[in-house]
Structure formats: C-alpha cells, structure tokens
Amino acid sequence: LPLCFPEKLWKMLESDQFRSIWWSEGGKCVAINKDLFEVEVLGRGVCQRVFNTQHIRSVIRQLNLYGFTKVQRDFQRSASLPEFLSEEAAASAHSQILYYYNPSFNRAHPWLLGTCKRR
C-alpha cells in the first residue's frame, strides 16, 4: 500500500538521507529549508520522487490539509546597531526555513501519527 502524506513525511524526518527537512523544537515541529527541499526532494527524477509534485506550494497545501499550522519564529533583537545588523542577516538566512506544527505529529509520540487525518 502506498504511504499517506504524514507517513512519507515521518519517514523523511527519521531518515538520514535528507538534509532539507528535520525535527525542530525537540521533535514537536517540522523544519523545512525551502530552497534545499526544492532541489533535494522535489527536484528528483520520476523514479525517485517522494511526493507526486515538483512544487513546494503543493507540499505546503498537503501540510495544511493534514492540520499542520505554520509557526513563526520570534527573534529577540539587540539594542546595539552592529549586533542588530548581524542579527538581521541571520534572520534573513532563516527566512528560507519554514516551521510547521501539528499536535498529532510528534517525534516522542509516534502512535499519534494514525490520528493525523486529512481534512
């Protein structure tokens, strides 16, 4: 039987084959490096394709359909100008990283994966 979207996502996160997607927040969130994901996962040939798409927006749509919500990262800003500017540069590098949360998708509770249903 083919795997459903959450099962494929879980296998990718647990695999050491992908650098573009990982567990974040102690296994409570999924982190995706958008640019690297597009090359590493979505840019694969037909035979090696993980998802039936080549577009990140389709993957994001699937995340939303399965109850994932985008999590905004809050960065504390420094008061000094040089530190603020270096923090801004680091934050812009992080802007390519997308974070998604689903209470039924938690690394510490794999048995909840079965409750992760499509809306």
For the stretch 2-39, pLDDT in tens is: 679 999 999 999 999 999 999 998 999 999 999 999 99
CA separation for the pair 82, 78 (Å, rounded): 9
With cut-offs at 50, 70 and 90, classify the pLDDT of residue 52.
confident
With cut-offs at 50, 70 and 90, classify the pLDDT of residue 101.
very high
Output the CATH code of domain 3-73+83-112: 1.10.10.10
- The answer, yes or no, to whether residue 45 has pLDDT greater than 90, is no
CA separation for the pair 33, 21 (Å, rounded): 6
**Which ranges constitute the DSSP H helices of 33-109?**
34-40, 56-65, 81-94
With cut-offs at 50, 70 and 90, classify the pLDDT of residue 96.
confident
CA separation for the pair 31, 27 (Å, rounded): 10
Of residues 92 and 82, which shows the higher confidence score?
A: 82
pLDDT at 47: 74
**Nearest residue to 6 via CA among 70, 50, 53, 46:** 50
Of residues 9 and 94, which shows the higher confidence score?
A: 9
**Which ranges constitute the DSSP H helices of 15-80?**
34-40, 56-65
Query: What are 40's two structure tokens?
Result: 């590493």
**Which of 24-38, 49-63, 84-98 shows the lowest mean pLDDT across its residues?**
84-98
